[in-house]
Structure 1
């Protein structure tokens, strides 16, 4: 036992010695695993509008009640138009006075920033494995460790496998994300502000105002420079 402890201690010392004590820049490290929703339907737009309204309303309750005015974008894309309409609906249904003109009202601004990352983003997701390893015995690999199920619990294994995979959106990690910032302010200060981020299906980029450049057409003619006598 003492020998094993000494070996483990020596290994720890060696590993610690391999780490650089000084570096010109911070070492790149991963964040703890988190989840980010992927917008794939107009219904999802209504869900996030309701979530935004609840957060904004919680801040507005800290100040005396005043009408609010939704400051819509001048040339909204389909997502911005739907978000403004659904946020208006949520505020009205929650008992707030939504003014049609900005005079005397708190202004609600909605900034939607679309960002595009590299196409080959890292793909980290948990799929789980379900397999029969014997007569009446199923194996369901879980996040921490594989779990064995007998034939009576086989349906539970299948349900568990489906539940685990249902949490994740299909397809690769999108290269497109949007950052939504909603602010409530008067001429002097911000009274409420909320920022959230979501994945966007790459095939739906145009709904969020992203216009991809058209590929250049190949040139059909070439110009040559002639030197010397003909």
Structure 2
């Protein structure tokens, strides 16, 4: 009996380790874990504007200096207006000449694409738990095979636990994301280009140009047809 059980287990292991070598379509797989910032305040707009400006300036330094012009956007959203203003400020503060007219200047264009995914998207966060050990030592389990914090006191251990989890934005994974692309070009070529993606709070969708349709109100009246003599 023991021999049959061992053979069955061995067979199961062999079968489990043998995936089909040929499939009609690629097998869906997850990407390696990454983090994406969630915009939740106007201050965050300034942070990403500064980040974009630094990447653009790095490329502009490879070419002879020329004035730049921030191209106007038709019907800009509050986010686009703020981004243009903050990008102008960053460029001026870095010593670049920002022209008020396009003549003779490099054109800086900003494109913001707002995308909506399905609601209730999966959310994978740190799912371990804090465990007190002896002498005020806390163990944060399931993080890189266990991360030990010897804080000397239980209160310090709780602070370490809260600090570790504070890196994650509160709430569910947003269904709304934006893709921000800033390009610098002349009439012949692109000289600099930067593209970034961010989560945005679903309650702030209008700030990024997404207008949700109003829900259809249920019909509260009905019409009846009367037949026969009155």
1:15 and 2:12 correspond? no
- How far apart are residue 12 of structure 1 and its match? 6.0
After superposition, the Cα gap between the structure-2 partners of 1:150 and 1:88, relative to the gap in structure 1 and judged at 3 Å, is closer
- Counterpart CA distance in 2 for 1:150 and 1:107 is 54
Where structure 2 has 5 or more consecutive residues not aligned to the other structure, the ranges are 1-7
Structure 1 spans left out of the alignment, 5+ residues: 1-6
Instruction: List per-residue Cα deviations over 1:3-50 (Å, max 9, x = no partner).
Output: xxxx99977643332x11111110000000000000011110000000
Name whichever of 20-29 and 148-157 sits farther off.
148-157
Corresponding residue number in structure 2 for 1:108: 108
Q: CA RMSD in A?
A: 2.6
Aligned to 2:5: none
Shift of 1:74: 1.6
Contact 1:39 1:201 (C-alpha < 8 Å) held by counterparts = yes
In structure 2, relative to structure 1, the CA distance for the partners of 1:179 and 1:148 (3 Å cut) is: closer
The change in CA–CA distance for 1:55 and 1:145 in structure 2 (over 3 A counts) is same
Structure 1 counterpart SS, 2:154 = helix
Q: How far 1:222 sits from its partner (Å)?
A: 3.3
The reply to whether residue 208 of structure 1 matches residue 197 of structure 2 is no
Partner residue in 2 for 1:180? 180
Distance 2:42 2:101 in 1: 27
Q: Secondary structure at the match of 2:50?
A: helix
**What's the TM-score, normalizing by structure 2?**
0.86
Task: Kindly report which structure 2 residues correspond to 1:1-230, keeping only aligned pairs within 5 A, or say none.
Answer: 13-17=14-18, 19-132=19-132, 138-146=138-146, 152-223=152-223
1:154 positional shift:
2.7
Kept in 2, the 8 Å contact 1:125–1:168? The answer is: yes
Does the C-alpha gap of structure 1 residues 109 and 148 become closer, same or farther in structure 2, counting only changes over 3 Å? Answer: closer
State the Cα distance separating 1:179 from its structure 2 match: 0.2
C-alpha deviations, 1:72-94, integer Å up to 9, x for none?
Answer: 21211110000000000000001
In 2, Cα distance between the equivalents of 1:136 and 1:103? 67
| Aligned counterparts of 1:86 and 1:147: Cα–Cα separation in 2 | 40
Does the CA-based 8 Å contact 1:115-1:176 persist in structure 2? yes
Stretch deviating more after TM superposition (214-223 or 72-81): 214-223
Q: Which residue of 1 aligns with 2:4?
A: none
Contact 2:151/2:157 (<8 A) preserved: no
